[in-house]
Amino acid sequence: MKHLFIFTLLLLQIKVEAQTSALAIADSLYTLGNYSKAINEYSKVGGLSAALQIARSYNAVGNYEKAIIQYQYVVDEDVENQLAQFELGKLLLKVNRFDEAKPVFINLSNLNTTNPEFQFYLGEVNRHLDAADSSLKHYEKAIKLDSTHLRSLFQLAKHYTIKQERDNALKYILQGLDYYENDVSLINLHALVLFNDSQFEKAIPLFERLLELGEDKDYVYEKLGISYRRNWEFKKAKEAYAILLKRDDTNSQTYFDLASVYQKESKLDSAKIYINKAMAVQKPIFANGYNQLAYIAREQKDLEKAFKLFERAHKEDTSNAFIYYNIATTYDQFGTDLKKKLGYYENFLKNYPNQHPYYYETAKKRISELKEEIHFTKD
């Protein structure tokens, strides 16, 4: 009996050692990225730990369906295994199975109420399910649990930036930057909030900082060009647009923006050159080009030419109320036919009734004045 007991212990020891050896081989294969062979070795070992590693291996090779099945097996066998549930939830989110991911993260947040990551991912799931209010609440909960949770701070800041709620956006942006001043995403949002608020002087150093941090992207130069121009830094604006044109000399908007710089400098001949270049590459309409040329002609006191250019712009884009308003006001300045003047303003009210209230009220006032002039002229 004693010999049998010792023999059994030896068999168990050999089995454990064999499993340990097989597990070590499987772990080594997994660590080195040899996932297919690792799966075979883990299958020999058995058990929940090996099953979790098999799920991770399938995930690593991109076989997400098998990974999900394997993760689900582990979770079903061990309902309190937070790590397996967390990896399963993130994978479901990755493959856009949001409805399935949601209960996983809800369960995790119930198992561990102090983990900000679980709240963040609940926010992500709800965001993808178009439940904006719920997603914001979960991001806020994540921040309450960890005031430095940058991804939650970014999502909240991004939401309020898009909504153009300046104060709320800045609250979360500055909170994040106070923790990590070189966070590119938050610096970008900070710059955009100031840009959208027309605080160009304050936005400029932030866009410049993005370039220093390696965000050498077209949109940064576009926003910088506009900011420099609006801040009367014309040389720097030209430099920004020159970089954009070097990258893409077929972008009509860059030529138009560059023309605006020369126009602000009162270098109208140069402005016309760049407007014509813009129109040469512009597809499919020329409304913007004709409109800008009309403004230049008006600055040069050639009102009749400006009027004709505004008309050409309007033919290209009949939906643009402001172009038609310029037709009316320009003819009003040089034209002599009172009835024709009246007709332009009346057409503006008729065709563009829901446009800018200032232009609408100005047109109504001018109609009243013209009717009075016509009446006295008849008398």
Separation of alpha carbons 309 and 320, rounded Å = 14
Cβ–Cβ under 8 Å, residues 125 and 102: yes
Separation of alpha carbons 50 and 68, rounded Å = 15
Q: Classify 96 in phi/psi space as left (phi over 0), alpha (psi -120 to 50) or beta.
A: left
**Residue 139 domain-assigned (yes or no):** no
Q: What is the DSSP string of 166-224?
A: HHHHHHHHHHHHHH-TT-HHHHHHHHHHHHHTT-HHHHHHHHHHHHHTT---HHHHHHH
**Residue 277 domain-assigned (yes or no):** yes
- Name the CA radius of gyration of the chain, rounded: 33
Domain count, the chain: 1
Q: Which two tokens stand for residue 69?
A: 């099945």
**Residue 223 domain-assigned (yes or no):** yes
Per-residue pLDDT of the chain (379 residues; tens, 9 = 90+): 555 445 454 444 544 444 566 678 878 888 888 888 888 888 887 788 899 999 999 999 999 999 999 999 999 999 899 999 999 999 999 999 999 999 999 999 999 999 999 999 999 999 999 898 999 999 999 999 999 999 999 999 999 999 989 999 999 999 999 999 999 999 999 999 999 999 999 999 999 999 999 999 999 999 999 999 999 999 999 999 999 999 998 889 999 999 999 999 999 999 999 999 998 887 556 788 888 999 999 999 999 999 999 999 998 888 889 999 999 999 999 998 999 999 999 999 999 887 777 888 889 899 999 888 887 776 5
Of all helices (H) and strands (E), which one includes residue 59?
helix 48-61
The CA–CA distances, whole Å, from 217 to 9, 48, 70, 187, 198 equal: 67, 47, 42, 14, 21
Q: Which two tokens stand for residue 8?
A: 């059994």
Q: What is the DSSP string of 119-137?
A: HHHHHHHHHHTT-HHHHHH
**Residue 264 domain-assigned (yes or no):** yes
CATH of the domain at 244: 1.25.40.10
Which domain covers residue 225, as residue numbers? 217-283
**Residue 348 domain-assigned (yes or no):** no
**Residue 259 domain-assigned (yes or no):** yes
**Residue 248 domain-assigned (yes or no):** yes
**Residue 227 domain-assigned (yes or no):** yes
